[in-house]
Structure 1
Amino acid sequence: MYIVVGLGNPGKRYDATRHNVGFDTIDLLAYRNNIKVNKLKHKALYGEGFWGGEKVLLVKPQTFMNLSGESVRDIVEFYKIETKNLIVIYDDIDIEVGILRIRHKGSAGTHNGMRSVIYQLQSDEFPRVRIGIGRPQFGDLADFVTSRFSKEEIPPIRETIDKAALAVESIVKEGIDKAMNQFNG
């Protein structure tokens, strides 16, 4: 079984913002795999389906970004999965828009949602799919990550979200090493 978590903030105010590319990827995965992400439990919206014989849960924590770990811990403990079968998708300001990075494990970097997940799990030993959202040249970082993409950034971010969805499917079906070789940009 795999648990695939997209990080983001709940509510219409945050739809299509930089910080919600994890949610956007979950929505695309749900659409492509005919999974309804409409059950509410573990402080999250989630849905379940099967890919290549593997049960997969698609999860969107509803705790707001900085407390995402509470939801992730609840669901991981409930299903008693190993962290290697948890995949977390999130935005990364240290990567340019249009770039995707997949890793076996690692630190949270500057991402508060990932800090929360790592703290709550007491582990950083889980795969992650990082979607580049770029870094502001000036101004407040919180305002930047909750802003929408510019007109010029929309085509590359859509393409990257599509690649992220394909990468997650590849991790589940073929393993992380193959996905890293194919999708790391």
Structure 2
Amino acid sequence: MKYLIVGLGNIGPEYLGTRHNIGFRIVNAVAEEGGVFFTEQRYGATARLRVKNAELLLLKPNTFMNLSGHAVRYWLQKENISVENLLVAVDDLALPFGTLRLKPKGSHAGHNGLRNIEELLGTQEYNRLRFGIGDNFPRGKQVDYVLSAFEPEELAVMPEKMKLAAEIVRSFCLAGVQMTMNQYNHK
């Protein structure tokens, strides 16, 4: 089976390490554990690895967050991967920092990257791995918050959170979304 694992984020040094780029961090962790490296391709950087009988195509779109759907649609079509085998790793303001939640579908909840994917795929029914970034920002400062760096105490637990996120991605590909949700969503 072939899977497209997409980490959402923005390209460029000014966005490196920001909360909004947690999707990039997650696919980087999967690549690092698999011993593979990203190369620049059309619509983003990709890396390929095998996990048992699953073939994973990791993608970090270079389209900027709000146009992520172009990269997702292109790679799904190019690699002939079904939407059921798509997993999008994304930041989520509605979850406390470090909380990981796998979902088989849902609304974009105001997230512009997910909104664009939904528009271009024509469906909300694709898997997403949500990483909680918290909502510790004053009214009207949401954009500044998501584009800010993590706090030192958050960075201290990041290796543990990335290891867990990579584990969830592997489980999704090997055991499926329901079994993975049952195993990890309560943690």
Taking structure 2 as the reference length, the TM-score comes to 0.94
Aligned partners of 1:156, 1:109: CA distance in 2, in Å? Answer: 26
Per-residue Cα deviation, 1:61-83 (whole angstroms, up to 9, x for no partner): 00111111111111111122210
1:88 matched residue in structure 2: 88
RMSD value, Cα: 1.3
Aligned partners of 1:85, 1:147: CA distance in 2, in Å? Answer: 31
Q: Residue type matched to 1:54 in 2?
A: A
Aligned partners of 2:36, 2:100: CA distance in 1, in Å? Answer: 24
1:36 matched residue in structure 2: 37
Aligned partners of 2:73, 2:127: CA distance in 1, in Å? Answer: 15
Aligned partners of 1:154, 1:62: CA distance in 2, in Å? Answer: 24
2:119 matched residue in structure 1: 119
Taking structure 1 as the reference length, the TM-score comes to 0.95
2:161 matched residue in structure 1: 160
Per-residue Cα deviation, 1:124-166 (whole angstroms, up to 9, x for no partner): 1111100000113305211110100111222344432321111
Pairs aligned (count): 184
1:140 matched residue in structure 2: 141
Q: Residue type matched to 1:2 in 2?
A: Y
Per-residue Cα deviation, 1:37-82 (whole angstroms, up to 9, x for no partner): 11312x1110112111221100000011111111111111112221
Q: Residue type matched to 1:101 in 2?
A: R
Q: Secondary structure at the match of 1:129?
A: strand
Aligned partners of 2:50, 2:60: CA distance in 1, in Å? Answer: 18
Q: Which runs of 4+ in 1 moved over 6 A?
A: none
Q: Residue type matched to 1:67 in 2?
A: L
Q: Residue type matched to 1:160 in 2?
A: K
Mapped pair 1:6 → 2:7: yes
Aligned partners of 2:31, 2:141: CA distance in 1, in Å? Answer: 33
Higher alpha-carbon deviation: 58-67 or 173-182: 173-182
Q: Is the 8 A contact 2:3 2:56 kept in 1?
A: yes
Gaps of 5+ in 2: none
Q: Residue type matched to 1:45 in 2?
A: A
Higher alpha-carbon deviation: 63-72 or 151-160: 151-160
Q: Residue type matched to 2:36 in 1?
A: I
Gaps of 5+ in 1: none
